[in-house]
Structure 1
């Protein structure tokens, strides 16, 4: 038999809960994806989510590729053990992230918000679907920073 090239490496899969779609202009779904940079596999690099795959269906945006944030140098040098950042953003009709805004940063002055903004901007989603058509959706995600 001829020599065949080895198969491509498989990506690690992390399970994520499907975020909820907006029910009114004031409500914003929160993604329930644990993000912990302290090690372990709290957040992987890929997820396909589930549900809403039918023709003409309605469903919320589903995370496809997510990445862990890097602890900012300023925070690491200061010995910061943990922190949280709540970000709000738009998932576009194409599944990219835009209009990232820091809602809450705790503690402040350690560049955690900047790191969270840079990280969330790299994420990709299957966009929300309404009547079978992709639709931009506003979402929120809390990103946790921790060291072991």
Structure 2
């Protein structure tokens, strides 16, 4: 029984395969018959006959460089007129310290009625006209007075110490009040005098100095 079934199946399979192969061959024949001879098209690139005309542009010629103009003639240098300015008038402060005939400084007038100094050494101030300054410092002219053209005279009384220094200076007379006093006192304090000796010992003495403040008007 099994053998019969196997033979039947084999026959069916062979028949199916045969039928399938027949259909495939018939379809290929039909496709070959249907196809027509289609002419082949050749695409050929045609060279363009138009030629591009290139124009040659000529650059403009550079203009020749301009000729250098001849140098101008040298003009004579003008000579500056040397004008001499007139000298300016400047008021220069002038300190006038009067001097006596012998060349020493005039130290004012001493009282003739004063008693004569004793012969013995004394430390008290003495009135003496024989006074020789070793260092004289002129006073500075006050600016306010110079601007206002103010002149004046200051008389100062002071004591000359045993070492020649000035002490206890006071203004005893001033033609212009409180203008030249400070400058005169400051200057006289820097003066130095020759020391006077009595019996070989230095002594103090009293003196008076007159200082003039005068502008030099030229």
Q: Same fold (TM over 0.5)?
A: yes
Q: Does 1:73 align with 2:161?
A: no
* Structure-1 separation of matches of 2:126 and 2:163: 22
In structure 2, the CA distance between the partners of 1:61 and 1:130, relative to structure 1 (3 Å rule), is farther
For residues 111-148 of structure 1, what are the alpha-carbon distances to aligned partners after superposition, in whole Å with 9 as ceiling and x for unaligned?
A: x0111100000000112221121111110000011011
Equivalent residue, structure 1, for 2:134: 64
Contact map agreement 1:87 1:141 (CA 8 A) in 2: yes
- Report how far residue 78 of structure 1 moved: 2.0
* Structure-2 separation of matches of 1:79 and 1:93: 39
* Structure-2 separation of matches of 1:66 and 1:95: 12
* Structure-2 separation of matches of 1:27 and 1:92: 11
- Report how far residue 97 of structure 1 moved: 0.4
Alignment of 1:1-148 (within 5 A): 15-17=103-105, 24=115, 28-29=127-128, 60-80=130-150, 82-110=151-179, 112-148=180-216
Give the structure with the higher percent strand. 1
Rg larger in structure: 2
In structure 2, the CA distance between the partners of 1:95 and 1:21, relative to structure 1 (3 Å rule), is farther
In structure 2, the CA distance between the partners of 1:100 and 1:65, relative to structure 1 (3 Å rule), is same
**Number of aligned residue pairs:** 104
Equivalent residue, structure 2, for 1:5: none
- Report how far residue 90 of structure 1 moved: 0.5
Aligned to 2:149, the other structure's residue is in SS state coil
Gaps (5+ residues) in structure 1? 1-13, 31-59
- Report how far residue 98 of structure 1 moved: 0.6
Which structure is higher in RCO with an 8 Å CA cutoff and minimum separation 6? 1
Contact map agreement 1:65 1:123 (CA 8 A) in 2: yes
Contact map agreement 1:65 1:124 (CA 8 A) in 2: yes
For residues 11-33 of structure 1, what are the alpha-carbon distances to aligned partners after superposition, in whole Å with 9 as ceiling and x for unaligned?
A: xxx94258699963798456xxx
Q: Which stretch shows the higher mean deviation, 86-95 or 17-26?
A: 17-26
In structure 2, the CA distance between the partners of 1:79 and 1:21, relative to structure 1 (3 Å rule), is closer
